[in-house]
């Protein structure tokens, strides 16, 4: 195990010394939220946007934010190695309660944990990846970045079992998102991504792509995508902080267009990489 330094409840300590009680509500109930924040060239990417989403997730589970934005920045920056492209995993649970009870305890200190890992360039960027569609069986608050990820991991594992990189989820005939990513498609020459709401996580990568498209006159709409429209799309991408933009070249065992990453992806990926560099 990489015995790196991690942050736990006000202390920096080696990973193998970071311990949490078995009575922690994160462990017992999955009662907590998290963030994944990439860092390029030593700068946390869209830090303020990640913090806004963190605040929304905390509000969504009625947990007070234990730190100010300045404190978060200081806590997290101390974990970074500026020579690497990395990401911070930050988790806040409701904390340790004396007895197991579903309802919130009256007085409780949250548990705050953060660690940093290197971003390993994702295989499949060059040639694209395979994805499979399946019914979205997750809960009704997918806009909260909850640590309760059992629905997501079962979907992802089903995709992996079918030799695919991602599960693309569909609710009532409409595409929601990937098991751990947002979805874009090029349909009739227009870049489309499902609108925000309780069915999807408002991805920061997604927002950045929508902004880049607007600035570069790439036609882009936030509107519902039917499963039928996805199946005949010219391009499909999945996006996340760790995978950035990945082209999907095979969906449900059928090639997407000619089975190669498409031209809108090539353009957007170049713009995205240039944008990252411009912030460093």
Q: Which of 203, 247, 261, 262 binds ligand PDD (CB under 6 A)?
A: 203
What minimum distance in Å lies between the beta carbon of 223 and ligand PDD? 18
Q: Which of 86, 91, 199, 205 binds ligand PDD (CB under 6 A)?
A: 205
Is-contact 249 259, C-beta < 8 A?
yes
Stretch that binds ligand PDD, among 2-10, 201-209, 218-226, 269-277 (CB under 6 A): 201-209
The CA distances from residue 252 to 48, 131, 164, 233, 248, in Å, are 37, 7, 9, 13, 11
The CA distances from residue 126 to 24, 68, 123, 129, 265, in Å, are 42, 40, 8, 9, 11
| Cα(58)–Cα(64) distance, integer angstroms | 7
Please tell me whether residue 242 binds ligand PDD under the rule CB under 6 A.
Answer: yes
What minimum distance in Å lies between the beta carbon of 238 and ligand PDD? 9
Q: Which of 88, 168, 204, 209 binds ligand PDD (CB under 6 A)?
A: 204
**CB atoms < 10 A from the CB of 86, how many?**
19
Active site annotation includes 215: no
Q: Which is it for strands 174-178 and 166-171: parallel, antiparallel or unpaired?
A: antiparallel
- How far is Cα of residue 164 from the mean position of the Cα atoms in its chain? 18
Q: Which of 156, 258, 140 shows the shortest CA–CA distance to 200?
A: 140
Q: Which of 39, 86, 93, 182 binds ligand PDD (CB under 6 A)?
A: 182
Please tell me whether residue 177 binds ligand PDD under the rule CB under 6 A.
Answer: yes
Residue window 26-65: x/- pattern of binding to ligand PDD, with contact defined by CB under 6 A: ----------x-----------------------------
**The length of the chain, given as a count of residues:** 280
What minimum distance in Å lies between the beta carbon of 62 and ligand PDD? 21
Q: Which is nearer to ligand PDD, 33 or 264 (CB)?
A: 33
Q: Which of 91, 181, 193, 199 binds ligand PDD (CB under 6 A)?
A: 181
Please tell me whether residue 91 binds ligand PDD under the rule CB under 6 A.
Answer: no
Q: Which of 26, 240, 249, 269 binds ligand PDD (CB under 6 A)?
A: 240
Q: CB-side exposure of 129: number of CA atoms within 13 Å?
A: 23
Catalytic position from the list 4, 19, 99, 145: 145
Say which residues have a Cβ less than 8 Å from residue 243's Cβ, sequence separation at least 6: 122, 181
| Cα(53)–Cα(30) distance, integer angstroms | 19
Q: Which of 97, 132, 187, 201 binds ligand PDD (CB under 6 A)?
A: 201
Token duo for residue 86: 């990395």
Residue 37 φ then ψ, to 5°: -120, 115
Instruction: Classify each residue of 28-61 as buried b or exposed e, where b means 16 or more C-beta atoms within 10 Å of its C-beta.
Output: bbebbbbbbbbbbeeebbbbeebbebbeebbeeb
Stretch that binds ligand PDD, among 20-28, 212-220, 236-244, 264-272 (CB under 6 A): 236-244
What minimum distance in Å lies between the beta carbon of 210 and ligand PDD? 11
Binders of ligand PDD: how many residues, by CB under 6 A?
15
Q: Which is nearer to ligand PDD, 111 or 205 (CB)?
A: 205
Q: Which residues are catalytic?
A: 145
Q: Which residues bind ligand PDD (CB under 6 A)?
A: 36, 152, 177, 180-182, 201, 203-206, 239-242
């Amino acid at each position: 195990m990489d015995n790196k330094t991690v942050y736990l409840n006000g202390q920096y300590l080696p990973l193998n010394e970071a311990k949490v009680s078995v009575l922690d509500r994160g462990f017992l109930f999955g009662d907590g939220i998290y963030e994944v924040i990439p860092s390029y060239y030593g700068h946390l990417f869209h830090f303020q946007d990640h913090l806004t989403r963190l605040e929304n997730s905390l509000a969504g589970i009625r947990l007070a934010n234990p730190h100010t934005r300045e404190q978060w920045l200081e806590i997290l920056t101390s974990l970074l190695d500026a020579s690497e492209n990395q990401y911070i995993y930050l988790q806040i649970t409701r904390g340790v309660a004396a007895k197991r009870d579903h309802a919130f305890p009256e007085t409780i200190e949250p548990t705050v944990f953060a660690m940093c890992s290197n971003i390993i360039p994702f295989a499949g960027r060059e040639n694209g990846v395979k994805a499979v569609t399946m019914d979205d069986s997750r809960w009704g608050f997918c806009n909260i970045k909850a640590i309760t990820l059992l629905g997501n991991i079962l979907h992802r594992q089903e995709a992996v079992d079918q030799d695919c990189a991602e599960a693309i989820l569909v609710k009532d005939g409409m595409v929601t998102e990937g098991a751990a990513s947002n979805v874009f498609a090029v349909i009739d020459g227009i870049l489309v991504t499902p609108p925000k709401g309780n069915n999807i996580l408002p991805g920061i990568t997604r927002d950045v792509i929508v902004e880049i498209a607007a600035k570069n006159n790439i036609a882009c709409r936030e509107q519902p995508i039917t499963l039928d429209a996805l199946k005949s799309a010219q391009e499909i991408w999945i996006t996340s902080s760790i995978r950035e933009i990945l082209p999907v070249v095979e969906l449900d065992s059928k090639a997407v267009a000619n089975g190669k990453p498409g031209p809108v992806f090539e353009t957007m990926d170049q713009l995205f990489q240039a944008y990252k560099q411009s912030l460093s």
